[in-house]
Amino acid sequence: MTSTLLSSLTTSAVGGPAGKYIEARTEAEIIDAVRSADAAGEQVLIVSGGSNLLVSDDGFPGTVIRIASEGFTVNAEDSCGGVAVVVQAGHNWDRLVEHAVRHAWSGIEALSGIPGSTGATPVQNVGAYGADVSQTIAAVRTWDRERNAVQTFTNSELKFGYRDSILKQTTVNGSPRYVVLTVEFQLPLGRMSAPIRYAELARALNVEVGQRAYANDVRREVLRLRASKGMVWDAADRDTYSTGSFFTNPIVPADVADKLPESAPRYPAGQDGLVKLSAAWLIDQAGFGKGFGLEDDGVAGGRASLSTKHTLAITNRGSASAADMVAVAREVRAGVEHRFGIRLHPEPLLIGLEL
């Protein structure tokens, strides 16, 4: 057990010290670490890939448990039912996607390049390019901290929504009731992808929306598109020192969406009378272009800024603090609300921070 800085555990490279730090490499170690911290009355912060987490410069006073379990088990594989694969919570997500595409397990290829661990994906129902993990998750095995027992959720029991699940809904001030141990996916067998649902990706693949493409082609194009937006981690590219998309796409009543210009992108929200809008479009149209930052102590463009490739990401330009990144977020959110009357909500988990 050693102390450490949260900045070393997050893709934004900000965050102060942990009160205690434990790295748990097996399911038994995860459960033991959580139970011990709970028994001692300590606050608990669960970290794995650190790609969707922004921690204050004061750090976290309790116990930080890094989920470092790796590997997966194939429980079944046949041409009718596809493949049932149980993945350890700490297993790198993109390594799983890469393996799936190589072995003709389809359904998650459009989620290529997303940083972080597999165990984090069901919490926020991680998604991109028209796909999300709720489409392929069969079950999630967790440790229930209230009952001190293992709890397994089926897909329907997870109550998936847009960037939402029962796992997220029961997380309070960054502390989850349910700690993910494993995630089971049910993936069809075949070289073809799931139907392409995102227009930009369909154009890149030269197919119509709703058509399929070879899964390896989908992975290649998604990685290319993500890299062009600074959304694939690269230690040499400061645009990737972020939490990914900082704001979720707002879901609003149809009459609110109707007040926007015709050019404003609109997407089905999956609920009657509601429309999903593009947070990136709102940010740009409110006057916050790529690279926007707040001048501070003579630092041109600011220590933190919007990505120079994509307005949804707030990046650490090299010497930013968590406070610097939150200051940019506050400015952008206030500007969008002033211009359009629509309040943006953060996608990453904020620890010791408020917008």
3 is catalytic: no
Question: 28-34 — which CB contacts under 8 Å span 24+ positions?
Answer: 29/69, 30/65, 30/67, 30/69, 30/89, 30/143, 30/179, 30/181, 31/143, 31/179, 31/181, 33/63, 33/65, 34/65, 34/143, 34/145, 34/179
Strand-pair partners of 252:
275
Cβ within 8 Å of residue 186, ≥6 positions away:
81, 82, 83, 84, 136, 137, 138
To the question of pTM greater than 0.75 for the whole model, the response is yes
- In this model, does residue 128 exceed pLDDT 90? yes
HEC string of 64-90 equals EEEECCCCEEEEEEECCCEEEEEEECC
pLDDT for 280-308, tens place per residue? 999 999 999 999 999 876 666 789 999 99
Cβ within 8 Å of residue 278, ≥6 positions away:
249, 264, 265, 267
Q: Are strands 242-245 and 313-316 parallel, antiparallel or unpaired?
A: antiparallel
- In this model, does residue 247 exceed pLDDT 90? yes
- In this model, does residue 121 exceed pLDDT 60? yes
- In this model, does residue 1 exceed pLDDT 60? no
Structure confidence at residue 81 (pLDDT): 79
- In this model, does residue 206 exceed pLDDT 90? yes
Ordered domains of the chain (ranges, CATH): 6-67 (3.30.43.10), 72-187 (3.30.465.10), 238-351 (3.90.78.10)
Question: What is the pLDDT averaged over residues 221-249?
Answer: 96
- In this model, does residue 2 exceed pLDDT 70? no
The single residue of 145, 163, 226, 333 carrying the catalytic annotation is 163
Using the structure block, give the residue that is written with the tokens 């440790």: 143
Going by C-alpha positions, the residue among 110, 117, 160, 120 that lies closest to residue 138 is 160
The single residue of 48, 106, 117, 245 carrying the catalytic annotation is 245
Structure confidence at residue 298 (pLDDT): 61
For the chain, report the end-to-end CA distance as a whole number of angstroms: 33
Question: What is the pLDDT averaged over residues 146-157?
Answer: 98
163 is catalytic: yes
| Pairwise CA distance, residues 54 & 39, whole Å | 26
The single-letter DSSP state of residue 286 is T
Average pLDDT, the chain: 95
177 is catalytic: no
| Pairwise CA distance, residues 323 & 348, whole Å | 15
